[in-house]
Amino acid sequence: MITMRRLYLLAAVALTAILAVAMLAAYFLPVARQESRSFASSLAAALSAAGMEVQEVGTLALPYFEPRAKVLAVNGQDVQVFEYASPAEVATAAGQVAPDGTAIAGKPADWPEPARFYRKGNAIVLYVGRDPAVRAALETQLGQPFAASPSLTTLAKGVAFSGPEDASLYAINSSAGLKTAWARANQGYEQLPSMPTIDFTQQQVLAAFLGQRPSSGYYAEIYNVTVEDAVTRVYVRETTPGKGCIVFQSLTYPFHLATVAVSDKPAVFTTEAVARNC
């Protein structure tokens, strides 16, 4: 027969066990949470020590990978950190990314700027942008990206003040072709700037001439390039004046000339227009 004293003893033992479990949980759960955040936090600290302005913004649910991304603002640019439980999970996620970063799990990813994917430890880091300082800092900490959009370098960008009315979008693979495009980009100027020297065995020039526009406020930008099975797809964005913009009534001819790694696949241009309100 269980006496009242024995019941009290059993209850005391049970209560002690519960308290012990609670104390262990209180100790280990914060440690586990700290470990899940440790890569993003250590990356933020390393970038900050390298002279970058870094803020931990928070988390964000994105369709590209299963876990929520830890978002760092690095020099004002978003850097997304996806953390996984094991290297095997990282390998599986990384395997879904196309080598040029333009598709994930077979679905096209329409990045507004060139995308670069890095992999280190149990994390994948994604940066979508052009800031050379951010790229250099990430490569110092993470190494070269395992997937990246082709790198674009601007040769010339702006507005000519005379030229053909029609748009011309094409790839240039010779000095003679560049000479013609360079003259068109600089029409209306008294003195032609020196033409850059390009090694056409390594690079090609992409030319986006939008043709005649009725006023100022129009701009051309080659903002992304993807290498597909049969073509090199070039994305061109035209910015047009939106609400509240004051423009000058003068004919303008927006253009952008940029270099990219040479490709034996023909260039196909895709254009879009975006209004910018003032």
pLDDT digits (tens, 9 = 90+) for 115-159: 899 999 999 999 998 888 999 999 999 998 998 877 788 999 999
Per-residue pLDDT at 33 exceeds 50: no
Does the reported pTM lie above 0.75?
Answer: no
Q: For the segment 49-104, what is each residue's pLDDT rounded down to a tens digit?
A: 999 999 999 888 877 677 888 999 999 999 999 999 998 999 999 999 988 787 88
**What pLDDT score was predicted for residue 2?**
54
Question: Rounded to an integer, what distance in angstroms lies between the CA atom of residue 76 and that of residue 17?
Answer: 50
DSSP one-letter string for 75-106: TTEEEEEEE-SSHHHHHHHHTTB-TTSSEETT
Give the rounded percent of residues in the chain with a pLDDT score beyond 90.
56
